[in-house]
């Protein structure tokens, strides 16, 4: 991954340090990769405006404040706000004159970057906060250091750090959209906990919606949006996982295992098992026959 390093001295408007990198073909096809990363201290207000970049931008404001405009909406931002943008769309940002900002950023991309951004944007606003800001700044520092002095593992480690950074952004509790999603998420967590305890029993969407005082339509819609599967798919996933454990570590018949996992129809059990695993329950058991009965 060839790297071009620039260290800018103070100009009238900014003091900037950045790296610009070019991934090799293997990294471009398989990893998250950084395109640019750096640190900026604003000395005077100035606006940066771009559109149509094949890139995603992550910013953390270290101090000060300013404005970010994205998709035609202007947002006031201040430390320690974080920002995640799809740079294919037009965006701009401008530091405050009264409190000029300091910030760190990475432009990144990769074969799965769009999917991560889509998953993030379904759950969060573009402006959000991460409780552990030190971990964010440390991650960006690591990315800069890795790509200043290129090694054989720089691309792989950079990809891992970007993955961790995006995972932190997505799962951060304080980054939830301010539209009531936190109470909804709490209720969905309660539904998940109930299913985890009772998935071997007869469960229905009607029973769950009634028990948790939420409409059947809204529950099914919110659950699928949050977990990327329907409630019944989640229940079946739990049942199949338990069945696999019993097939490997018990001598119970397939019919007994199916019933103990909450599926009373053995033929239906075989059908859904084959769909999930690409083989019958008997074939799965045979595959694991003779292996030591331990968790390894």
CATH of residue 195:
1.10.10.60
Check residue 3 and give its pLDDT: 38
The lowest-confidence range among 120-124, 192-196, 287-291 is: 287-291
The verdict on 206 and 245 lying in the same domain is: yes
Q: Is the peptide bond before 293 cis (omega within 30 degrees of 0)?
A: no
CATH of the domain at 22: 2.60.120.280
Check residue 11 and give its pLDDT: 55
Half-sphere exposure of 12 (CA within 13 A, CB side): 2
Q: Rounded mean pLDDT of 33-61?
A: 91
pLDDT reading at 135 higher than 80:
yes
Domain boundary residue among 133, 150, 175? 175
Q: What tokens appear for 55 in the block?
A: 């890139």
Q: Rounded mean pLDDT of 90-99?
A: 91
The verdict on 148 and 21 lying in the same domain is: yes
The verdict on 238 and 262 lying in the same domain is: yes
The verdict on 271 and 254 lying in the same domain is: yes
* Cα–Cα distance, 39 to 165 (Å, whole number): 17
- pTM of the predicted model, to two decimals? 0.74
Question: In angstroms, what CA-CA distances link 105 with 56, 74, 91, 119, 238?
Answer: 10, 19, 15, 21, 40
pLDDT reading at 110 higher than 80:
yes
Domain that holds residue 193: 180-296
Helix ranges (H only) for the chain are 25-30, 113-123, 133-148, 154-171, 181-198, 205-211, 216-227, 231-249, 254-260, 266-277, 281-288
What is the pLDDT confidence band of residue 43, given thresholds at 50, 70 and 90?
Answer: confident
* Cα–Cα distance, 79 to 98 (Å, whole number): 14
Q: pLDDT for 242-274, tens place per residue? A: 999 999 999 999 999 999 999 999 999 999 999
As for how many domains the chain has, the answer is 2
């Amino acid at each position: 991954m060839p790297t071009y390093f620039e260290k800018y001295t103070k100009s009238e408007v900014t003091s900037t340090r950045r790296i610009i990198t070019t991934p090799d073909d293997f990294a471009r096809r398989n990893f998250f990769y950084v395109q640019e990363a750096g640190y900026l201290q604003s000395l005077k207000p100035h606006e940066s405006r771009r559109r149509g970049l094949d890139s995603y931008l992550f910013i953390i404001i270290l101090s000060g404040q300013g404005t970010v405009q994205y998709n035609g909406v202007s947002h006031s931002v201040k430390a320690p706000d974080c920002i995640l943008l799809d740079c294919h769309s037009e965006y701009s940002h401008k530091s405050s004159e009264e409190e000029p900002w300091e910030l760190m950023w990475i432009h990144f991309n990769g074969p799965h970057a769009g999917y991560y951004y889509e998953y993030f944007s379904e759950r969060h606003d573009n402006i959000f906060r991460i409780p552990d800001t030190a971990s964010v700044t440390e991650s960006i520092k690591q990315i800069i250091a890795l790509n200043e002095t290129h090694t054989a593992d720089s691309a792989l480690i950079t990809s891992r750090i970007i993955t961790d950074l995006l995972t932190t952004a997505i799962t951060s509790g304080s980054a939830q959209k301010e539209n009531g999603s936190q109470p909804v998420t709490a209720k969905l967590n309660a539904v998940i906990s109930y299913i985890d305890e009772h998935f071997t029993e007869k469960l229905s969407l009607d029973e769950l919606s009634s028990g948790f005082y939420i409409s059947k339509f809204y529950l099914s819609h919110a659950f699928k949006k949050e977990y990327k599967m329907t409630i019944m798919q989640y229940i079946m996933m739990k049942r199949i996982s338990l069945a696999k454990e019993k097939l490997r570590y018990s001598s119970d018949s397939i019919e007994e295992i199916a019933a103990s996992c909450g599926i009373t129809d053995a033929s239906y059990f075989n059908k859904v098992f084959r769909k999930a695993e690409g083989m019958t329950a008997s074939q799965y058991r045979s595959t694991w026959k003779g292996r030591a009965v331990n968790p390894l």
